[in-house]
Amino acid sequence: MVMELRKTDVIVVGSGPTGLMLANELALAGVGVVVLDRLAERSGQSKALNLQPRTAEVFDLRGLLEPVRRYALGNWGSGHFGGRPLTYEGWETRHPYQVHIPQAGVERALEERLAEQGVQVSRGHELVGFTQDDAGVRATVRTAAGELRVEAEYLVGCDGGRSTVRKQLGVEFPGTDASLFAFVADVFLVNRPATIPTRLRSVHDAIGRRSDKGSGGLIPMGEPDLFRLIYTSAARPDRTVPVSVDEITSALHALYGNEVEVGEVRWASRFTNATRQAAQYRVDRVLLAGDAAHIHFPAGGQGLNLGVQDAMNLGWKLAAQVQGRAPDGLLDTYHTERHPVGARVLDNTRAQTLPPQPSPETLAMHRLITDLAKLPEANRHLAGMVSGLDIHYPFPGPPHPLLGRRLPDIELTPGNWSSTLFHPAKAVLLTTSPDHLKTAAPWSPQVNATLIPTLPTPATLTRPDGHICWTPPPNDPTPDSLLTALHTWFGTPPSRP
């Protein structure tokens, strides 16, 4: 039997938020992409429930925030660190809140945008195996109609914590095994007492309940009497056994009393605090992103956001590599920049997690963290870390406080924000100097250069992912440093006809 053959530039395995965001980035750059997903249809399970402020900014950079908001349930005005309230004051963001949205809504909005770009997810397509060499990647895919071969220049595994891509690639996945066991369930309640609110100011308001059997709480899900139950206990259930109605009922009674009862269970799943990170995010022509690269306890709601930001970092670099315009080493910066960010999230989720039977020393440490989190500067530090607003990449160039950090959205003229300049996924040069425009002109296909009458700093060159990669060094009247930055990040400019 002759195996069907498809060719493309990049294969993306997995159509969760990470895979869909990456596919959108590639398609926007004009790169051919095939998205494979083993499920015959989108699950519709709510899973993650929030967008952190930095992810809201990332979506805004591509004109995606408003489409995503169509499926949101509202905003939460603050976050939390291990149950301690966090505010986003002082981070210069237009989105100082979390967007309350089930993961299914994020996936739906991203898939709709991908379809607008002419790309459909290949559902019911399971990756069986792949090989790679200097010429490219060859993937074998199982479908209902038989096996399919897909050839591409690169393949990216966005296929979750049990990633087939990572396992077949042979990348080590070091970390710690589970010591804490929990479940989530989307349930309709019967006889809901008034102590269970239907609106929340913060997710902290919902998850802070404790009993002698466990801890957790209920989060309203936008439909009458539909709630997300999150529950952690000292019990060590068999993860292969589905969450039962009796378990859910017992947890509800422990947290809210015996009056409340379970009606329908829409979806339930177990999870743990197993924490692991891939040793390498890239092996030649195959890369890892999202949960395929890192898993952790969902403390603070950081998982979906970490994956989407992986995709934002990788997308423009991989597109440049495929299109032959990437400078040497650009694609390797995906690992060098994102691996430390992932490691930091793993650390902070560990720090937020109390064991089922904490020692007096552990409890004392957590009380100390609670006291520290009340201090404005400590609260700001924790909020920046959990939200992703404080990410600081180690970029080359003369030291500057802005270098490697995100560009806050700047109001260029009344009602006109700098975020709109990033919609085409180009780099953005904002400057008050016409000389800078002349220097950047040869890179115009990749760099959107804009002259602005006034700016907080004389000029910034910002990569397509929103991170500042150049500002003028002090007392630098020449455009030489800008020229160096343009070559460093965007390679040799295209020759003019």
CA 92 to chain centre: 20
Contact 145, 241 (CB under 8 A): no
| Closest to 310 (Cα-Cα) out of 58, 11, 43, 3 | 58
DSSP string, 312-328: HHHHHHHHHHHTT-PPT
* CATH architecture type of domain 411-490: 3-Layer(aba) Sandwich (3.40)
Report pLDDT for 427: 98
The pLDDT, as a whole number, for residue 215 is 85
Q: Where are the alpha helices (DSSP H) in 333-464?
A: 333-352, 360-373, 376-387, 434-440
**Measured CA angle at 308 (ends 68, 288), to 5 deg:** 145
Mutual orientation of helices 333-352 and 303-322 as an angle, nearest 10°? 180
Tell me: pLDDT of 126 over 90: yes
C-alpha distances (whole Å) from 396 to each of 333, 471, 480 are 12, 11, 14
pLDDT in tens, 434-447: 999 999 999 999 99
Instruction: Specify which of 191-200, 264-273, 285-294 reaches the highest per-range mean pLDDT.
Output: 285-294
Coil/strand/helix, residue 205: helix
Residue 384: which pLDDT band, with cuts at 50, 70 and 90?
very high
By C-alpha distance, which of 303, 417, 296 is closest to 349? 296
The whole-number average pLDDT for the span 239-262 is 91
Q: Which CATH number fits domain 4-174+276-349: 3.50.50.60, 3.60.15.10, 3.60.20.10, 3.40.50.300?
A: 3.50.50.60
pLDDT for res 484: 93
The confidence score (pLDDT) of residue 487 equals: 96
So what's the pLDDT on residue 465?
98
What pLDDT shows up at residue 460? 95
Domain coordinates of the chain in residue numbers?
Answer: 4-174+276-349, 181-272, 411-490
Average pLDDT, the chain: 92
Q: What's 356's DSSP letter?
A: S
* Architecture of the 181-272 domain: 2-Layer Sandwich (3.30)
Look at residue 280 and tell me whether its pLDDT is greater than 70: yes
pLDDT of residue 305: 97
Q: How far apart are CA 453 and CA 181, in angstroms?
A: 56
Share of the chain above pLDDT 70, in %: 97
Buried b (16+ CB within 10 A) or exposed e, 349-381: beebbbeeeeeeeeeeebeebeeebeeeebbbb
Query: What is the DSSP code (8-state) at residue 53?
Result: H
The pLDDT-based confidence of 477 (bands split at 50, 70, 90) is: low
Residues in the chain: 497
- For 125, half-sphere exposure in the C-beta direction (CA atoms, 13 angstrom radius) is 21
What is the pLDDT at residue 495? Answer: 72
In this prediction, residues 18-33 reach a mean pLDDT of 98
What's residue 17's pLDDT?
97
pLDDT-based confidence at residue 14 (cuts at 50, 70, 90)? very high
- Tell me what pLDDT residue 204 has: 67
pLDDT category, 236, cuts 50, 70, 90?
confident
Angle at 274 between CA 270 and CA 278, to 5 degrees: 125
∠ CA 56-62-64, rounded to 5°: 60
The CA–CA distances, whole Å, from 433 to 399, 428, 477, 478 equal 21, 14, 10, 11
The 10s digit of each residue's pLDDT in 51-109 is: 999 999 999 999 999 999 999 999 988 888 988 889 999 999 999 999 999 999 999 99
Return the pLDDT at 45.
74
Q: In the structure, what pLDDT confidence band is assigned to residue 162 with cuts at 50, 70 and 90?
A: very high
pLDDT band at 199 (very low <50, low <70, confident <90, very high): confident
Query: What does the pLDDT read at residue 496?
Result: 60
Confidence category of residue 464, pLDDT binned at 50, 70, 90? very high
pLDDT exceeds cutoff 70 at 134: yes
